[in-house]
Structure 1
Amino acid sequence: MKITGTGAPTMTPAIGAVAAPSDAAPAAAPVADSSPALQSEVLQPAARALAALPDFDAARVAELRDALAKGELPFDAGRLAGLIQRFHGSR
């Protein structure tokens, strides 16, 4: 899951807050960030490694989907709705 901002940031992003690359971008591409913290030669390899990680674990998603379909994993729609409501608050 990718999260993108719509406005100018009001705070300096955390070191781990590097956006994942699109599918078209090569994994070894340098991180295009003008933040001085990410321009460090020490942090560049870590930033590239983080950017190369997949957005989600497709194998784990397939495993959970199969378990749900077989009835091996309980699903509580009311609990899910409550968690979504708690996450989003009263917006």
Structure 2
Amino acid sequence: MKIRPLSDRVIVKRMEEDVKTASGIVLASTAVEKPDTGEVVAVGNGKVNNDGKLQSMSVKVGDKVLFGKYSGQTFKMDGQEYLTMREDDIIGIVEA
């Protein structure tokens, strides 16, 4: 994917979750909620603060992040679905 988000925007690819119940029943993709975790695939340069200085981003490409259920805007590129959101919409970085 070749896209560079502007200012404090981040592009995230949702992480796939298991679609099986504990007993092994496979659920239809329409019956499963979309996950609210994803991997950062692109970040902007940062946000210009009130002093006119560029505030660098806290997240980087490859970070696994947690975001709000209704955060971001969905778009498709190269047959893949992505989310674009502001860095403020990210709740935190998921560490191993």
Shorter-chain TM-score: which interval? under 0.3
Q: When the two structures are superposed, what TM-score results if normalisation uses the length of structure 1?
A: 0.19
Bigger proportion of residues as strand: 2
In our comparison, the structure showing a higher alpha carbon Rg is 1
Higher-RCO chain (CA-CA 8 Å, sequence separation at least 6): 2
Bigger proportion of residues as helix: 1
